[in-house]
């Protein structure tokens, strides 16, 4: 069991499969990209599967989320999913993606055992998409979403970040579009994870701003804490249901007290929080032929030291040096 000193138990594992991405979103990385991890530093497919097996069979992990960078860029992704699906007990598996490669991979991923996907899409306007991502791939994302739904990777969740002066007026349109296509929309407050350190708290679109905008067109009824559980998104029924919309307010409404996550970076480091400034190395243990029990011990010790909160509710919060693409969302 992965328990910390505050009594929280981690049952949700986020696994970053690569630090690379085929977009250059303004809130994530600079236009020229980043210094990617060297191939020898990345975990191999076998190492990833072994760590997930230890997490599931020895440490109580029940859900595995594959992230990046962009996880669809990982050549062995389908094989990793298939091998994790064969574990006993079998964990629930999901994938967070920008959707660009989903049209050609959705069917194979579903057949391998993937349960569902989260797709990032911040705008319905191709010109705004290009401004936000520095790439002309809007139509590819839309086709990827359709392919995911057709393959049965449901519920298909869409993650949107609103940016001042770009797409901050789109919340109602995004929700109407998501309802029409039977996607579950979740808005995410912009977080200080950009490599160029351009994030400013006073300029961000808050959960309150998002909800006020949505209420100009929709009636929102809160779902309640019992339904939410440890999920990061607060959810509302839209016009009485059955459709829902969620808001992940990491900055203005932190949910650290209910956190049940542990994170594994693409180079084999355990992170107790997305915003942690410390990591615990599992790769060295893997490559020194340490037994499973020793790796589990190191992992448990790392999680025991998890802090009470992320620090995002502190106005003096300093952005972590490691960008989102290297950590995994």
Higher pLDDT, 145 or 230: 145
Residue 200 pLDDT = 56
**Contact between residue 235 and residue 246 where contact means Cβ atoms under 8 Å apart:** yes
On whether 116 is known to bind a ligand per the annotation, the reply is no
The mean of the pLDDT values for the chain is 89
Residue 115 pLDDT = 98
**Contact between residue 57 and residue 6 where contact means Cβ atoms under 8 Å apart:** no
* Strand, helix or coil for residue 207: helix
Residue 319 pLDDT = 46
Higher pLDDT, 26 or 129: 129
% the chain with pLDDT above 70: 86
The pLDDT of residue 14 is above 80: yes
Count: domains in the chain: 1
On whether 107 is known to bind a ligand per the annotation, the reply is no
On whether 256 is known to bind a ligand per the annotation, the reply is yes
Higher pLDDT, 107 or 224: 107
Strands 234-238 and 157-160: unpaired
On whether 143 is known to bind a ligand per the annotation, the reply is no
On whether 261 is known to bind a ligand per the annotation, the reply is yes
- pTM higher than 0.85: yes
Q: What are the tens digits of pLDDT across the range 235-263?
A: 999 999 999 999 998 788 877 888 999 99
Q: Cα torsion for 47, 49, 51, 53, to the nearest 10°? A: -150
Strands 2-3 and 9-10: antiparallel
pLDDT-based confidence at 232, cuts 50/70/90?
Answer: confident
- Count CB neighbours of 291 within 10 A: 9
On whether 25 is known to bind a ligand per the annotation, the reply is yes
Structure tokens at 252: 């203005």
Q: How confident is the model over 321-327, as a mean pLDDT? A: 49
Structure tokens at 29: 């990385």
% the chain with pLDDT above 90: 71
On whether 273 is known to bind a ligand per the annotation, the reply is yes
The pLDDT of residue 312 is above 70: no
Instruction: State the sign of the Cα–Cα–Cα–Cα dihedral 26, 115, 214, 190.
Output: negative
The pLDDT of residue 202 is above 80: no
Residue 230 pLDDT = 64
Strands 234-238 and 220-222: antiparallel
On whether 104 is known to bind a ligand per the annotation, the reply is no
Residue 191 pLDDT = 66
The pLDDT of residue 189 is above 70: yes
The pLDDT of residue 324 is above 50: no
Helix then strand then coil, in percent of the chain rounded to 5, is 35, 15, 50
Closest to 19 in 3D by CA, of 225, 203, 253, 267: 267
Range of the domain at 211: 2-326
The pLDDT of residue 318 is above 70: no
Q: How confident is the model over 44-64, as a mean pLDDT? A: 98
On whether 324 is known to bind a ligand per the annotation, the reply is no
From CA 138, how far away is CA 62, in angstroms rounded? 34
The pLDDT of residue 217 is above 80: yes
* Strand, helix or coil for residue 280: strand
Out of 63-77, 120-134, 182-196, least confident range: 182-196
Higher pLDDT, 21 or 185: 185
On whether 262 is known to bind a ligand per the annotation, the reply is yes
pLDDT-based confidence at 199, cuts 50/70/90?
Answer: very low
On whether 307 is known to bind a ligand per the annotation, the reply is no
Identify the CATH number of the domain in which residue 250 sits: 3.20.20.70
């Amino acid at each position: 069991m992965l328990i910390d000193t505050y009594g929280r138990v981690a049952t949700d594992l986020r696994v970053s499969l690569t630090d690379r991405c085929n977009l250059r979103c303004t809130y994530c990385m600079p236009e020229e990209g980043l210094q990617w991890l060297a191939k020898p530093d990345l975990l191999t497919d076998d190492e990833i599967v072994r760590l997930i097996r230890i997490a599931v069979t020895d440490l109580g992990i029940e859900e595995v989320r594959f992230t990046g960078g962009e996880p669809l860029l990982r050549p062995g992704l389908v094989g990793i999913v298939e091998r994790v699906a064969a574990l006993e007990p079998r964990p629930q598996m999901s994938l967070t993606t920008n959707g660009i490669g989903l049209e050609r991979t959705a069917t194979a991923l579903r057949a391998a055992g993937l349960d569902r996907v989260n797709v990032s899409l911040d705008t319905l306007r191709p010109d705004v998409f290009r401004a936000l991502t520095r790439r002309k791939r809007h139509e590819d994302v839309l086709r990827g979403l359709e392919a995911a739904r057709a393959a049965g990777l449901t519920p298909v969740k869409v993650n949107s970040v609103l940016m001042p002066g770009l797409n901050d007026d789109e919340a109602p349109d995004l929700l109407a579009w998501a309802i029409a296509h039977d996607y579950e929309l979740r808005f995410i407050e912009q977080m200080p994870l950009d490599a160029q350190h351009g994030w400013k708290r006073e300029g961000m679109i808050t959960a309150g701003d998002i909800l006020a905008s949505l209420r100009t067109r929709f009636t929102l009824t809160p779902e309640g804490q019992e339904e939410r559980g440890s999920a990061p998104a607060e959810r509302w029924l839209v016009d009485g249901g059955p459709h829902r919309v969620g808001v992940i307010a990491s900055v203005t409404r932190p949910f650290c007290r209910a956190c049940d996550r542990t994170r594994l970076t693409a180079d084999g480091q355990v992170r107790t929080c997305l915003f942690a400034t410390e990591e615990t190395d599992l790769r060295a243990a893997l490559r020194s032929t340490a037994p499973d029990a020793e790796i589990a011990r190191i992992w448990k010790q790392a999680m025991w030291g998890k802090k009470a909160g992320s620090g995002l509710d502190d106005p003096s919060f300093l952005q972590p040096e490691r960008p989102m693409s290297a950590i995994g969302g």
